[in-house]
Structure 1
Amino acid sequence: MARKLPYSPGDIFAVPLRDHGYALGVVARANGKGIVLGYFFGPRLESIEEVPKVLAFEVDSAIKICRCGDLGLIREEWPVVGRVESWDPARWTVPDFCRDENIRVVYDGDSLSMSREERVDPREGRLLPQDGLEGAGYVEIKLTRLFGP
């Protein structure tokens, strides 16, 4: 019997940054086996109490998009703080990713497993999110660096 996860696509969660404050993330996809596609947003919030009551995100304004493990969500270290209003998964697509600057990696939208890879011009590759499966701690570190001191 499958266990009930404490999150679902469309949920908004708070990621604690390593120095202070939080970033917000949106579960765009989840494969139910520990992998989530997350879209992450600023600005840095000093506390969870600062999370606005009504949250509107523009997909194009994400500061980071990645496939990551769901341990922070499972342990509720990344608490769910809301839900995207009028959740529409078609708006929150699984983007193509890039590996080694010249390999485009395409993932299946349901399983989040790789469906194909192909060579691309490095200039095009640099515009895509970096490929990989990031752990919760790594996501926290990367977001902390993106926000700076």
Structure 2
Amino acid sequence: MARSLPYTAGDIVAVPLRDEGFALGVIARADGKGIALGYFFGQRIDALDKVTGPQALNPDNAAKVCRFGDRGIIKGLWAIVGRVTDWDPEKWPVPAFCRNGEILVQYDDRTLESVGTQRLPQSGCQDLPEDGLEGSGFVEIKLTKLIAAQEKDI
């Protein structure tokens, strides 16, 4: 049964990083049962007061796209800090994902349930996000590592 959520598609969340600061994410879809689809960005934000109001984020610049559990939002650990300017869900699609390096997985745009898989050559889905359902804590860890690696390369 779907529940009333404290967030909606187009909301921007501040994901706490495990070392310091926050990363931004955009809620692109939610099934109303605890699973959401998010686009996450790889820039560290030092403080929440630096992020207010609508943001002009671009899905093409996302560092990570995944299906995730919304517990971090529900528990108030991930703050809703704004909305995407001119929110249009078609610009933030549910992508195909890759499982085990060779299986293309597609999800329903509304329910986020799997609607089909297809085996591809091993290099066939290397540019797709990895399939799975990540907990909010796992998303925090992955973003922390991703941002730390980017900052180290600068």
What band does the TM-score fall into relative to the shorter chain?
over 0.9
Are 2:42 and 2:143, in contact at CA under 8 Å, matched by a contact in 1?
no
Are 2:53 and 2:81, in contact at CA under 8 Å, matched by a contact in 1?
no
Aligned length: 149
Spell out, residue by residue over 1:45-95, the C-alpha distance to the aligned partner (whole angstroms, 9 max, x if none): 011112154411111100000000000011111010000111100111000
The 1:90/1:9 distance shift into structure 2, 3 A limit, reads: same
SS at match of 2:41: strand
1:4 alignment counterpart: 4
What's the RMSD between the two structures over aligned residues?
A: 1.4
Task: Write the mapping of 1:67-106 to structure 2, written as runs, cut at 5 A.
Answer: 67-106=67-106
Deviates more, 1:1-10 or 1:62-71: 1-10
- Percent identity, aligned pairs only, is 54
Amino acid at match of 1:125: C
**Structure 2 unaligned spans of 5+:** none
**Structure 1 unaligned spans of 5+:** none
Task: Write the mapping of 1:60-139 to structure 2, written as runs, cut at 5 A.
Answer: 60-139=60-139
Q: Structure 1 segments of 4 or more deviating over 3 A?
A: none
SS at match of 1:116: strand
